[in-house]
Structure 1
Amino acid sequence: MSSLFSTWPATRAAGLARLDGFLPHAGRAYAARRNHAVVAPTVSGLSPYLRRRMVTEREVLASVLARHGETAAEKFIDEVFWRAHFKGRLEGQPEIWTRYQTALVQGQAALDRDPALARRYADAVAGRTGIDALDAWVGELEATGYLHNHARMWFASIWTHTLGLPWALGAAFMHARLLDGDPAANTLSWRWVVGLHTPGKTYLARADNIARYTEGRFQPKGLASDAPPLEEPPFAETWASAALDLTPPEGPVLLLITEEDLHPESLLPADAAVAAIQVVDAVEMQGRPRSDLVRAFTNEALDDVAARVRLIWPDRPVHRGPLDADTLAPAASAAGVSTVVTAYAPVGPTRERLDVLAPQLAARGVTIKRLARRYDALTWPHGRGGFFGLKKRIPRLLDQLDLRPNAQPTLL
């Protein structure tokens, strides 16, 4: 088995080292080779760190711009902004997430009704379909927690169009095993493959394309020759940009750190009155636990942020525990505060838990303040429609975010 990456130290230092090592390749070399799913460093390997903001988008963009400039690094810069596009789309239409959860239930029910479908599903998740590429990618997912983005698209296409398996079950299988598993990017990418993200437009994996971009590693047989799109009812809700709060908290607070944002040192101003810190356990999607590899990476990342905040606020207590009212209310009381501040969590399991938690804490006299980043406030509103609506605004966004070389830094 071959893979782009085999080890993933779950620390901010490791993420910064990976960024530093990739910088020479982030310009025209990336543009030329980014679609090749091979061992050579054609992509950055930064996604597990960006997904949890162990390394922030602003840090990556500023470093790449300083090294290559906007023209040479255009393709890599686009890829960073694709993450914002997906998150903005899910924020503006959260019903997409609800429909995905419904599709999971329907997919499982289909397996229960159809023994032949259930056998195809069992063969797919065990990597024994006989399709060389898909079987190898299942092994790589299990062993490394990573797949090249091109391989993810091929995987999703073969899963749905060749094997005829429910798309949502494939999305859940992949999300549970990806170290960079992101509710927005993963869900919307799978929806695009089956014709739901851009209605009527699907993605069809072709054997010649796979052979070309894996440089002969795979020669899959029996792939589907067409990809009929799925259809769904129109969305009932209107588009609504998230109401993001950018105002730093006043007075002493309990800082709540979730997996969604592990760089609190750039979330809060340097003079923030942090009375105590609570680093909470990762939140799983109900009924869909992530792999042991992903859970180990996430726990190590949470340990890393706990160690860093102990250095930043050396005289403040730092605790680990679950994300629930029975943990947070006593922690706030012990710290003598009535406000919990946390990074704004985008649509996904953590956000769902926070939505449930907020009224529970309010009943105990504790308020949760969800503090957003300027990067999200500027980029997420452009998640509506296709990516190119955001792409044409990238030069302006780079200016607004002070990301040109020699620009003065602001909060990330």
Structure 2
Amino acid sequence: MIDGYLDNHARMWFASIWIFTLELPWRLGADFFFRNLLDGDPASNTLGWRWAAGLHTRGKPYHAQAWNIARFTNNRFDPRPAELAAVVEGLESEEPEGLPSVTPLRTVQVPDLDRPTALLITEEDCRPEDFDLPSMNFVGYATLSASHLRSPLPVSPLVKEFEHGALRDTASRIAVDATELRAGVPTDLSRWASRPGATQIATPYIPTGPLRDWMLEAKRGLVEAGIDLVEWRREWDSAIWPYATAGFFKVKKQIPAILHNTGLM
């Protein structure tokens, strides 16, 4: 993981060995990945570890086995079976309540084209050009670095550098001179947007996770300053996400219907 990447097979083996062979808390392992993987994601990372622990698909923990590791690493790694847990049991007894109920996508306030607007770019979505930017009345632009929010422990410099590069690349692609902000004191966001006279901050949709939590804190200051936080969400995101409740295969079954309903097929 020295370069911030890890193959999916290796992630599963790592999680299984961490939980069942070393008997370490799965949350600490999930936090370790989140702090060190460039593609760390609050939903898929946490749920991936829950799945390995038998908490997401209950009763089906992932069992890392020596033959599987040897096969998919072309024998580069060939552990002895005795070095791994022979039997694995899910951690359902530690969380008997299971998963929370599925909730609908939250309603978003869409941008008003006529209001003076500040564009905010975050690592959650570096494709603002997918939306109708030329129709907006922009008075300011900013990137917001937030990877440090992933954990109370230090986040890998590689993760921070990757995020910084992605944000700068996004600003460059849409040809704007963006102020570089850091998610620190939440009220700083309203101070920045107030300077050029913005009455709304527009950003691509920010789903659940540390940045969303920080934005909710920042929203208090925005309300006091008379600034609305508005978001774009793609039609296909709204169509797909309600099915993303039990892994990839449930979504895969719905792809033909989704394409038909969104007019993409």
TM-score (norm 2): 0.89
Matched, 1:249 2:108: no
Please, which of 149, 166, 174 is the counterpart of residue 33 of structure 2? 174
Match of 1:319 in 2: 179
The SS at the match of 2:195 is helix
Instruction: Give the alignment of 1:85-104 within 5 angstroms.
Output: none
Shift of 1:237: 5.2
In 2, the alpha carbon distance for the partners of 1:367 and 1:267 equals 18
The 2-side partners of 1:176 and 1:287 are apart by: 10
Residue number in structure 1 paired with 2:61: 202
State the Cα distance separating 1:246 from its structure 2 match. Answer: 7.4
Partner of 1:266: 130
RMSD of aligned Cα (Å): 2.1
Structure 2 CA distance for aligned equivalents of residues 375 and 382 of structure 1: 12
Segment drifting more, 232-241 vs 364-373:
232-241
Hey, what's the Cα distance between the residues in 2 that align with 1:154 and 1:296? 27
Does residue 190 of structure 1 match 2:55?
Answer: no
For 1:361 and 1:247, locate their aligned partners in 2 and report how far apart those are by CA, in whole Å: 16
Matched-pair contact (CA < 8 Å) for 1:345–1:351: yes
Which deviations, in whole Å up to 9, do the C-alpha atoms of 1:113-170 show, x marking residues without a partner? Answer: xxxxxxxxxxxxxxxxxxxxxxxxxxxx1x2111110111011111111111111111
Tell me, in whole angstroms, the C-alpha distance in 1 between the residues paired with 2:227 and 2:117.
10
Structure with the larger helix share: 1
Shift of 1:288: 2.8
1:339-390 Cα offsets, whole Å, 9 max, x none, are 1111221111111101111112111221111322222211111123454332
Bigger share in strand? 2
Q: Is the 8 A contact 1:194 1:227 kept in 2?
A: no
Percent identity for Structure 1 against Structure 2: 41
**Secondary structure, aligned partner of 1:289:** coil
Number of equivalenced pairs: 258
Q: Distance in 2 between matches of 1:246 and 1:354?
A: 14
Aligned to 1:336: 197
Q: 2: distance between equivalents of 1:328 and 1:194?
A: 39
Q: CA deviation at 1:399?
A: 3.6
User: Mapping of 1:145-156 within 5 angstroms?
Assistant: 145-156=4-15
State the Cα distance separating 1:213 from its structure 2 match.
1.1
Out of 382, 385, 400, which is 2:243 matched to?
Answer: 382
Alignment match of 1:365 (pick from 223, 226, 251)? 226
Cα deviation, residue 325, structure 1: 4.4
CA contact (8 A) 2:60 2:90 kept: yes
Alignment equivalent of 2:74, drawn from 215, 224, 231 = 215
Structure 2 regions of 5+ residues with no counterpart? none
The yes-or-no answer on 1:275 pairing with 2:139 is yes
RCO comparison, higher one (Cα < 8 Å, 6+): 1
2:98 counterpart of 1:238: no
TM-score, with structure 1 as normaliser? 0.59
Deviation, 1:307, is 2.2
Structure 1 CA distance, aligned partners of 2:96 and 2:109? 35
